């Protein structure tokens, strides 16, 4: 009799269990650094992961600086048939650090009690393709070779978190991207970190690829992100915590000491980081809908994005409009919406028909299990003639898991580490700074009477002011300058020059990496500065008072 019950029990387990999505995660991930990943909260990833966390049937080719092939959070998902276009061999090991960081954002193994959780970290494969040298430099020819290699390996997605400061004559790269698109591959490209309304490294690429802008924890466009009507969507790109090589590379060893990154894990910012967030969501959709093509996946990502126009209002300079909300694509991506909405709770709270069906099946299975376990308990009690009251059998249902817990830095816009990938053409930049207020402080004053003042209205040293006394004033990160800015590595050592001239106060960019702006408009040549103007150097904004 007991054998029959056991057989029935096994049959119910085999037949009655609802068909589940691939490796869903019904509770917060146990990765210890998940609380450093504000992207989890922002995109509703815990909701998306209830549907699935990824599939080994989906591959993302990361065309970048390579990958640490033995990183403990990546080793299980890296394909071994990668390619090194720089050295012309089959060892795509990362010598820079950027590619490892990008790969972790996409697919670092989720729920393995190590490090972080990738957006599609439930088994999504990474095909590493190295096209950038240790210092971040690369050639069009190597990028093209990388694209064509990825297509030959039947990947579903290509991630290209690379580019240059200004658009180049890259018709050959666009042609390679067009070939990938024609082959059914979804190509996802970084918008660039040049602060300007210009394409990244290739004109006209948006017809064949998704171009991604970067946003901050408040869904505002990051200052460094390029923007324009060629943007497909936006995604988190400020202070993104991810994997770094476990050994020394250019970014952990060769950058100036104050700009170096940590080994193993660290945060980085840029449209380079926003792009793999979108690639990870695309990988989830390909896993959820294996019959979908690249156009369908792209359309779903764009259609389900959150409207962030209220956080990014129109900006004008006089009669000229230089920013519109549409310059950020259809909005900031939403993984929960894209995967079908939440599936926990009552049927009324469930996002869609598929989720309702899964919940009903699960509840039905729980009821059957309760009956079977109850019957089995009664049988055993009678057989053994036990007079004691049987222990209660818990119901087979489940309580909704608690939401993922974030530390205080996650609940408020965090103060990010102000280090930056300085090399080009790989894109990397720093995030917006915290807006917490501090008492005003003055920089040490030298020289004669002050003819002007600069006050930090946004930046790491909020409300600090600098008195201007010399006829030529340098603004930069270098210690000893008249306006020495600290805590913002997007500021060059000598970033901007102010001139006290008989014609008025003039400003000129000093050849900085990211340029100088006045009231959001890039400075070209020498321009007049008027009281009340806001000078933007890197992520730091200074208001001029004459």
Name the band, by pLDDT with cuts 50, 70 and 90, for residue 61: very high
Name the band, by pLDDT with cuts 50, 70 and 90, for residue 203: low
Contacts by residues 500-506 (CB-CB < 8 Å, ≥ 24 positions apart): 500/451, 500/452, 500/468, 500/470, 500/471, 500/472, 500/473, 503/528, 504/528, 504/529, 505/452, 505/529, 505/530, 505/544, 505/546
Model pLDDT for residues 413-441, shown as the tens digit of each residue: 333 333 333 223 333 333 333 333 334 45
- Give the integer Cα–Cα distance in Å for 122 and 138: 32
In a domain, 536, yes or no: yes
Model pLDDT for residues 369-379, shown as the tens digit of each residue: 554 455 544 44
Mean pLDDT of 93-122: 97
> Does pLDDT of 187 surpass 60?
yes
Q: Which of 526, 538, 445 lies closest to 486, judged by CA?
A: 538
- Give the integer Cα–Cα distance in Å for 313 and 424: 30
> Quick one: pLDDT at residue 281?
98
Q: Which of the given ranges, 127-131, 343-347, 472-476, has the highest pLDDT on average?
A: 127-131
> Quick one: pLDDT at residue 301?
98
Buried b (16+ CB within 10 A) or exposed e, 351-379: beebbbebbeebeebeeebeebeeebeee
Q: Which of the given ranges, 56-65, 187-196, 318-327, 511-520, has the highest pLDDT on average?
A: 56-65
> Quick one: pLDDT at residue 524?
78
- Give the integer Cα–Cα distance in Å for 211 and 215: 13
Answer yes or no: do 335 and 464 share one domain.
no
Q: Which of 200, 236, 192 lies closest to 215, judged by CA?
A: 236
> Quick one: pLDDT at residue 109?
98
> Quick one: pLDDT at residue 506?
92
> Quick one: pLDDT at residue 489?
75
> Does pLDDT of 52 surpass 90?
yes
Q: State how far the alpha carbon of 146 is from the alpha carbons of 83, 130, 153, 180, 424, in Å.
A: 8, 7, 11, 11, 18
> Does pLDDT of 366 surpass 70?
no
In a domain, 208, yes or no: yes
Say whether 91 is catalytic.
no
Top pLDDT among 353 and 234 is at 234
Q: Which of the given ranges, 265-269, 276-280, 425-429, 489-493, has the highest pLDDT on average?
A: 276-280
Answer yes or no: do 335 and 480 share one domain.
no
- Give the integer Cα–Cα distance in Å for 83 and 282: 23
Determine the structural domain holding residue 472 and report its residue range.
452-544
Residue 412's CB is within 10 A of a number of other CB atoms, namely 13
> Quick one: pLDDT at residue 259?
79
Q: Report residue 485 CA to chain centroid gap.
A: 27
Count Cα neighbours of 425 within 13 Å in the Cβ-side half-sphere.
24
**What's 73's domain CATH number?**
3.40.50.200
Contact 146, 173 (CB under 8 A): no
> Quick one: pLDDT at residue 368?
45
- Going 118 to 119 to 123 to 129, the CA torsion angle's sign is negative
**What's 504's domain CATH number?**
2.60.200.20
Residue 530's CB is within 10 A of a number of other CB atoms, namely 11
The catalytic residue among 31, 51, 55, 64 is 64
Write down which residue in 339, 364, 380 finishes a domain: 339
- Give the integer Cα–Cα distance in Å for 248 and 251: 8
> Quick one: pLDDT at residue 415?
31
Which residues are 233's β-sheet partners?
Answer: 212
- Give the integer Cα–Cα distance in Å for 206 and 322: 20
Buried b (16+ CB within 10 A) or exposed e, 485-516: bebbbbbbeebbbbbeeeeebbbebbebbbbb
Helical axes 294-303 vs 271-288, angle rounded to 10°:
120
- Give the integer Cα–Cα distance in Å for 494 and 474: 7
Say whether 161 is catalytic.
no
Write down which residue in 304, 323, 339 finishes a domain: 339
Q: Which residues have a Cβ under 8 Å from the Cβ of 11 and sit 6 or more positions away?
A: none
> Does pLDDT of 244 surpass 70?
yes
Top pLDDT among 115 and 520 is at 115
In a domain, 124, yes or no: yes
In a domain, 132, yes or no: yes
Which residues are 160's β-sheet partners?
Answer: 189
Q: What percentage of the chain carries pLDDT values higher than 90?
A: 54
The catalytic residue among 55, 103, 272, 513 is 272
The sheet with strand 540-545 has its strands ordered as: 465-468, 452-458, 540-545, 534-537, 516-518, 521-522
The phi, psi pair for 438, rounded to 5°, reads: -135, 155
Q: Which residues have a Cβ under 8 Å from the Cβ of 533 and sit 6 or more positions away?
A: 518, 519, 543, 544
Name the band, by pLDDT with cuts 50, 70 and 90, for residue 196: low
In a domain, 121, yes or no: yes
The catalytic residue among 51, 71, 98, 541 is 98
> Quick one: pLDDT at residue 255?
86
Mean pLDDT of 513-522: 84
In a domain, 102, yes or no: yes
> Quick one: pLDDT at residue 498?
94
Count how many domains the chain has: 2
In a domain, 346, yes or no: no
> Quick one: pLDDT at residue 365?
47
> Quick one: pLDDT at residue 39?
96
Write down which residue in 271, 304, 339 finishes a domain: 339
Count Cα neighbours of 95 within 13 Å in the Cβ-side half-sphere.
14
Q: The whole model's pTM is what?
A: 0.66
> Quick one: pLDDT at residue 395?
31
- Give the integer Cα–Cα distance in Å for 273 and 267: 10
- The phi-psi region of residue 44 (left if phi > 0; otherwise alpha if psi is between -120 and 50; otherwise beta) is left
> Quick one: pLDDT at residue 169?
53
Name the band, by pLDDT with cuts 50, 70 and 90, for residue 205: confident
Helical axes 98-107 vs 271-288, angle rounded to 10°:
30
Say whether 94 is catalytic.
no
Q: What is the DSSP letter of 92?
A: -
In a domain, 416, yes or no: no
Give the mean pLDDT of the chain.
79
Q: What is the DSSP letter of 335?
A: H
* Least confident residue range of 247-251, 391-395, 513-517, 520-524: 391-395
Which stretches does DSSP call E strand in 300-417?
A: 315-317, 320-323
> Quick one: pLDDT at residue 182?
97
Q: What is the DSSP letter of 443?
A: P
């Amino acid at each position: 009799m007991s054998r029959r019950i056991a057989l029935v029990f096994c049959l119910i387990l085999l037949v009655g269990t609802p068909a589940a999505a691939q490796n869903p995660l019904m509770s917060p991930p146990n990765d210890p650094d998940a609380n450093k990943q504000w992207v989890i909260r922002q995109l509703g990833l815990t909701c998306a992961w209830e549907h699935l966390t990824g599939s080994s049937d989906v591959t993302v080719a990361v065309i970048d600086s390579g990958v640490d092939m033995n990183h403990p959070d990546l080793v299980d998902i890296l394909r071994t048939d990668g390619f090194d276009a720089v050295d012309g061999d089959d060892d795509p090991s990362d010598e820079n650090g950027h590619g490892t960081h990008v790969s972790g954002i996409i697919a670092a193994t989720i729920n393995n009690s190590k490090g972080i959780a990738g957006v599609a970290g439930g088994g999504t494969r990474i095909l590493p393709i190295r096209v950038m040298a240790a210092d971040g430099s690369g050639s069009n020819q190597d990028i093209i070779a990388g694209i064509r290699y990825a297509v030959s390996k039947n990947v579903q997605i290509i991630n290209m978190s690379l580019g240059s400061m200004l658009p180049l004559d890259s018709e050959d790269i666009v042609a390679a991207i067009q070939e990938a698109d024609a082959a059914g591959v979804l190509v996802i490209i970084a918008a660039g970190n040049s602060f300007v309304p210009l394409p990244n490294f290739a004109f006209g690429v948006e017809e064949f690829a998704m171009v991604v802008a970067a946003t901050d924890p408040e869904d505002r466009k990051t200052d460094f992100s390029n923007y324009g009507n060629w943007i497909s969507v936006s995604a988190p790109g400020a202070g993104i915590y991810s994997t770094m090589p476990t050994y020394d590379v250019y970014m952990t060893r060769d950058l100036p000491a104050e700009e170096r990154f940590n080994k193993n894990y660290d945060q980085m910012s840029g449209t380079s980081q926003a792009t793999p967030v979108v690639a990870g969501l695309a990988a989830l959709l390909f896993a959820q809908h294996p019959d979908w093509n690249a156009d369908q996946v792209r359309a779903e990502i764009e259609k389900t994005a959150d409207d962030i126009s209220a956080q990014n209002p129109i900006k004008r300079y006089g009669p000229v409009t230089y920013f519109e909300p549409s310059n950020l694509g259809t909005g900031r991506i939403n993984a929960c919406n894209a995967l079908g909405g939440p599936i926990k709770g009552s049927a009324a709270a469930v996002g869609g028909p598929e989720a309702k069906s899964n919940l009903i099946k699960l509840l039905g299975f729980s009821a059957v299990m309760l009956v079977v376990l109850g019957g089995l308990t009664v049988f055993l009690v009678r057989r053994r003639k036990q007079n004691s009251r049987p222990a209660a059998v818990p119901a087979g249902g489940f309580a909704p898991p608690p939401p993922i817990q974030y530390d205080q830095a996650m609940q408020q816009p965090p103060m990010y580490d102000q280090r930056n990938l300085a090399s080009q053409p790989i894109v990397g930049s720093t995030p917006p700074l915290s807006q917490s207020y501090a008492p005003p402080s003055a920089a040490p004053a030298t020289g004669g009477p002050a003819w002007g003042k600069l006050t930090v209205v946004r930046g790491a040293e909020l409300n600090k002011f600098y008195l201007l006394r010399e006829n030529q004033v340098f603004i930069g990160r270098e210690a000893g300058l008249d306006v020495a800015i600290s805590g913002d590595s997007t500021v060059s050592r000598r970033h901007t020059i102010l001139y006290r001239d008989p014609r008025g106060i003039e400003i000129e960019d000093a050849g900085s990496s990211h340029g100088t702006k006045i009231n959001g408009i890039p400075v070209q040549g020498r321009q007049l500065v008027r009281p009340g103007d806001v000078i933007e150097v890197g992520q730091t904004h200074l208001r001029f008072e004459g």
